[in-house]
Structure 1
Amino acid sequence: MKKILLIGAILITAFTCQAQTATAVTKTKTSGTTTHSTVSINVSDSNEVYSYSAIFDKPKSKAAINEIEKSFGKPTTEGKNYVWREGDSLEIKAREGKITIEFEKGSTKLYEKVKELGESISAVVGEK
């Protein structure tokens, strides 16, 4: 856990030094049984690029993919990945237990949509 926090702190420092706004969130949940789940969410939001990465428990994948489909429709598939693209500026990739979003800013309306999507995915994969 200390290593994860240290890595998160280093990433935040690195992004801040590049005049970017960066947010790194790592959540770990442990229940009274032997199950252990980890959710890692990293968001970088600079003047030019918004990027989002989430790693989470595989059983939450379907709910997370449903959130993306609400905003961007049905995906194409590339190997094990579900992929959504909007021109050259947006690419969303999802597979079991992992989602990444890369958005080169240009359209304010699309930026707001992508940012809201990141927040809704975080809520779904971070649920108890």
Structure 2
Amino acid sequence: MKKTLFIAITLTALACNGQTAKSHAVAKSSGSTTHSNVSVSVSDSNEVYSYSAIFDKPKSKAAINEIEKAFGKPMTEGKNYVWREGESLEIKAREGKISIEFEKGSTKLYDKVKELGESISAVVGEK
């Protein structure tokens, strides 16, 4: 009964919204002599791709280097490094934290942004 109700609610929600969304979040903690905490959240709907990562501060430079490889040198706003592509993409990074907000439109840019999220996750230790 619960499974049928869940399926009915899910189908109704999809029919009402006319979209699909994928989302996943991962949190890792490990420690022997060193402690490592990583939290990555990805949401990928028909209209928006968003990515958020919180990780150990020493990995910040490597993660920011990944963004610079894809999008060049950043602007600075306070403690944040910021990259923008028109009004559809904004990437913010600071020590131990990165967020990406992309309003879909360009498939080529979407592929580039999605690959960036995957490479940041690999660098900060999510995978």
TM-score (structure 2 length as normaliser)? 0.82
Structure-1 separation of matches of 2:36 and 2:111:
30
Structure 1 segment 77-116 matched on structure 2, within 5 A:
77-116=76-115
Greater radius of gyration (CA) = 2
RMSD: 2.0
Structure-2 separation of matches of 1:127 and 1:55:
10
Structure-2 separation of matches of 1:24 and 1:70:
25
Q: CA deviation at 1:127?
A: 6.9
**Aligned residues: percent identity?**
82
The runs of 5 or more residues in structure 2 that have no matched partner are 1-12
Aligned residues: 112
The runs of 5 or more residues in structure 1 that have no matched partner are 1-15
Q: CA deviation at 1:26?
A: 1.5
Partner of 2:48: 49
SS where residue 114 of structure 2 aligns?
helix
Structure-1 separation of matches of 2:24 and 2:118:
12
Contact kept, 8 Å, 2:26 with 2:126, in 1: the verdict is no
- Dislocated runs of 4+, deviation >6 Å: none
TM-score (structure 1 length as normaliser)? 0.82
Structure-2 separation of matches of 1:46 and 1:27:
25
